[in-house]
Structure 1
Amino acid sequence: MKDGHVHTSFCPHGTKDTIEDYVERALELGYTEITFAEHAPLPEGFIDPTPLKDSAMRYEELDRYFQTIEEAKEKFRGKIKINTGFEVDFIEGYEVQTANFLNKFGPRLDDAILSVHFLKNPSGKYDCLDYSPDNFGEIAEAYGSVENVHRHYYQTVLKSILADLGPFKPKRIGHITLANKFRLKFPIQNEFTEEIIEILENVSMQGYELDYNGAGTAKPLCREPYPPEWVVNEALKHGIRLVYGSDAHQAKELGQGLDSMILIQK
């Protein structure tokens, strides 16, 4: 069993649990493989739009991040496969900076995820899609409707799949229905089936994987995985590999969502 999406204490909005705490909990759950995919530093020149500016780890901590994971690999050698990874943000307009970062640090990675959290809004500034329900409501008001936010999110996910980010571009696309995080407070009439199918077609053509993310099941305004069951079934029809990710930001969240997600055997 693999968990391909785990955060660490290097995440400013995460936990103080150590990487050893995570690994020991993973072993209790019977994991055979785990990927630490910390939020990579945001691109040079990009200003984090969140109030606390805590969306990603600091550039200055990269060496210590890599070293800490290497130490865990050595300590738990033969017990579990530990992967060094990142969750890399795709930010429209910062493709060159992101490619430069990946060219520098990609050789040190075993695994990685490419995700969309930030949307370039009509004014040319950026919004964090999943920060809070109140913030999401403000974004929807600025965009004219909740549906417009979802549509723009899926358009940005598609751009991330098609973007040229160099040879170390992550091959797994993160939580492709993250726009649903606050769906029970901000319901939509349109499931955006066409947009999601287009995303799946391009994931398949590129030979990429999908992050099958359990975090949404624990979110009180979502209560479903990213993506939900109908999208998983469509992905399987397209021959797309899905990799379970707890998206844990503390050790006790490892395995979240598994009880309500489709068991996929490869």
Structure 2
Amino acid sequence: MIAYGDFHVHTPYCPHGSNDQWEHYILNAIKLGLSEISFTEHAPLPMSFHDPVPNQDSAMAWSDLDMYLKKGEQLKLQYKDDIKINIGFEVDYIDGYQVDIQSFLDQYGSQIDDSILSVHMLRTKDNNYVCLDYSATEFGKIIRQFQSIEKVYQHYYQTIISSIEADLGVYKPQRIGHLTLIEKFIGQYPISFSNQVLDETLDKIKEKKYSLDLNTAGLYKPDCLSIYPKLEVAHKAKAMGIRLLPGSDSHESTTIGRGFDQISELIKL
């Protein structure tokens, strides 16, 4: 049996996504025969945090938050006979902002059905922040800032482990997003990175009984061409008994369920 749902989907409330109507995502999911869909919009960043990307468009606006939740509830009722709709967030774990993140989750956690905890932002030695997946050019700058690609990878996985261990309250997301996102530009910045850190990360996920976002978006990134986490890591996670939940990470309605044919063996229950 296959867990036939897409559990990582964005919406028109994502400022770096498309303007596709929310209903189009749902109708495409129904057309594909999906039984479930999770809308996990990028939660608003902490108010005191300065988004490091050029257009400051990494996450939804605070001013859209209530409308997002209200519209989501309306759609859940409207399509309840056709598909199970979950409304939630992809929450950014930002080192140094744990109190703000927990405050957000404490306030809104009771209103959501599903959530993902992801790392996109890395804290630098001078307490500034960089976005690791914005562009290949920016990733090159990050490598120079951290002095080596190995140090960037090491810092990324240390931050992932911190996110797993962090106390973010009772509504903390228990699914870790796109674990090997750091490899998005590996085609331009190749590296042979030790599996020891990845093994340690999987051990922490297993210990906490968390699940993993089995994210197909990387298959369509020209410098990656791999799922997140990459196949060898996904197979190891499955062998360890870590639950894998498929997600297309769609930012447009036409990519719902994209690449799921390539992970069918991994998502069989």
Which TM class, normalised by the smaller chain length?
over 0.9
**2:56 matched residue in structure 1:** 53
- Structure 1 position 161 matched with structure 2 position 164: yes
Q: Is the 8 A contact 1:19 1:69 kept in 2?
A: no
Matches within 5 A, 1:1-266: 1-190=4-193, 192-263=194-265, 264-266=267-269
Q: TM-score, normalised by structure 2?
A: 0.97
Letter in 2 for 1:92: D
What's the offset of the Cα at 1:262? 4.5
Which letter does structure 2 place at the counterpart of 1:76?
Answer: Y
Identity of aligned residues (%): 46
Secondary structure (helix, strand or coil) at the match of 1:182 reads coil
Once the two structures are superposed, what CA deviation does each residue of 1:10-63 show, in whole Å capped at 9, x if it has no partner? 000001111110000001111000000000000131110000000000111111
1:19–1:208 CA distance, 2 compared to 1 (3 A): same
Contact 1:217–1:256 at 8 Å: present in 2 too? no
Alignment gaps of 5+ in structure 2: none
User: Counterparts of 1:20 and 1:255 in 2: how far apart (Å)?
Assistant: 15
Letter paired with 2:115: A
Contact in 2 for aligned 1:92/1:120 (Cα 8 Å): yes
**CA distances 1:178-232 after superposition (whole Å, capped 9, x unpaired):** 0000000000022x31111111111111111000000000101100000111101
- 1:53 and 1:228 map into 2 onto residues whose CA distance is 29
Deviation at 1:265, TM superposition (A): 1.4
Distance 1:65 1:189 in 2: 41
Distance 2:37 2:192 in 1: 37
Matched positions, count: 265
Aligned-pair Cα RMSD in Å: 0.9
Task: Report the AA paired with residue 210 of structure 1.
Answer: L
